[in-house]
Amino acid sequence: MSSLIEEVAARLGLTYSVKMTPLPMGAAAGVLEGQRVSCTWGERGSRVEAWFDPPLDLGLHVRSLGFVNLPSLGSRVFLGDSNWDEEVIATADDAARAAVLFAADARRAVLGLNAITSYLELSDTSVVTQVTVMDAEAVIQSLTHVARVAAVIASARRAVPVAGPLRAHAEILRVFASEHELELTESPLELRGDRDGVRLEAWYLRTGRNEFDVEVRATPLDAPEGFGLVVRRGSAIDRVKTFFGGQDIVVGDPVFDPAYLVRAEDEGRARGALDPDVRALLMDLAGRFEEVSLEGAAVTARTAVGRIRAEDLRMLLEAACTVSERVARAAAGVTRGAYR
């Protein structure tokens, strides 16, 4: 069947490859109608898929009615449309948010795909169908349809309100984004843009039913030449390794040293970068985030949303930017200015 997939790839301008899983299997992947798609031939025929980028945060499961439907903890998504309510089984964490997504064009696109296929599955990450006949035209048609569904959902998702557990954070981010001319999207909730020489990103990842993590990253736009600096929260295993001779730079701070593991190729530059202000900010981040790391001058922090008070969010974003900015400046050997 690899020849069939190879023909499909050639006709649509996709990339063809052979995967070993464990037998050789032809696969095609690429971009169709602006959407990332893939196609592989397996035991049940050709699996055709279009991916949502970024993934949705609805806890969404939509399947063709009549197929074996796995239990879901989500709420049933009824739209008052018999074509939908009687033809597909749809569940989501918040049925009201999902109903906004499928209010018009996205509903029609999904139902259109469901009408021409015997299998449909749509989740937060992708829309999938299968082609059981060995026919290139049928596979091409399915790829075109899933790409269309993904494109329509990419547009419809803009109207979906922010998830309930994130509303307080979203209010703060709207103001912050407006003040600093940053880009903000709400499904999923993401902030990105450049601020004072630093690329700032914050995004919210669904980890379970109505559960989210927040991850913040601050990266200097003009990254200095690396000096091998790595700073991260120390674990029990790290402490054992250090006890038996593992590398760990001690900066002489009785609060910071037990909390963070520090490694660097240039110890002098590392010490200069980790000045008292930077150490204090990293300790503040450590008190709010479960994971904090500094690689070169790039700061990454992640934790469950419930650990971060909305009123502290602005301060934490600014702290991450300040650490990145100051470490980059120190690494570049530029005399540091006043603490902002």
What is the pLDDT, as a whole number, of residue 337?
A: 40
Q: Cα(248)–Cα(233) distance, rounded to whole angstroms?
A: 12
Residues whose CB falls within 8 Å of the CB of residue 246, separated by 6 or more in sequence, listed in order: 238
Tokens of 112: 């259109």
> Strand 211-220 and strand 61-64: pairing?
unpaired
CB 157, CB 145: distance < 8 Å:
no
Q: Cα(5)–Cα(41) distance, rounded to whole angstroms?
A: 7
What is the pLDDT, as a whole number, of residue 268?
A: 85
Q: Is the torsion defined by CA of 96, 70, 187, 318 positive or negative?
A: positive
Residue ranges in the chain whose pLDDT is less than 70 = 1-2, 20-24, 43, 66-73, 226, 234-247, 334-340
Segment holding 319, helix H or strand E: helix 310-331
* Tally of CA atoms within 13 A in the half-sphere of 26 that contains its CB: 17
What is the pLDDT, as a whole number, of residue 134?
A: 83
Q: Cα(340)–Cα(319) distance, rounded to whole angstroms?
A: 10
CB 101, CB 153: distance < 8 Å:
yes
> Strand 126-131 and strand 183-186: pairing?
unpaired
Residues whose CB falls within 8 Å of the CB of residue 106, separated by 6 or more in sequence, listed in order: 149, 152, 153, 156
β-pair partners for 299: 218, 294
What is the pLDDT, as a whole number, of residue 53?
A: 94
What is the pLDDT, as a whole number, of residue 336?
A: 40
Residue with tokens 């969404």: 60
What is the pLDDT, as a whole number, of residue 21?
A: 64
Distance of CA 212 to CAs 155, 184, 215, Å? 23, 17, 10
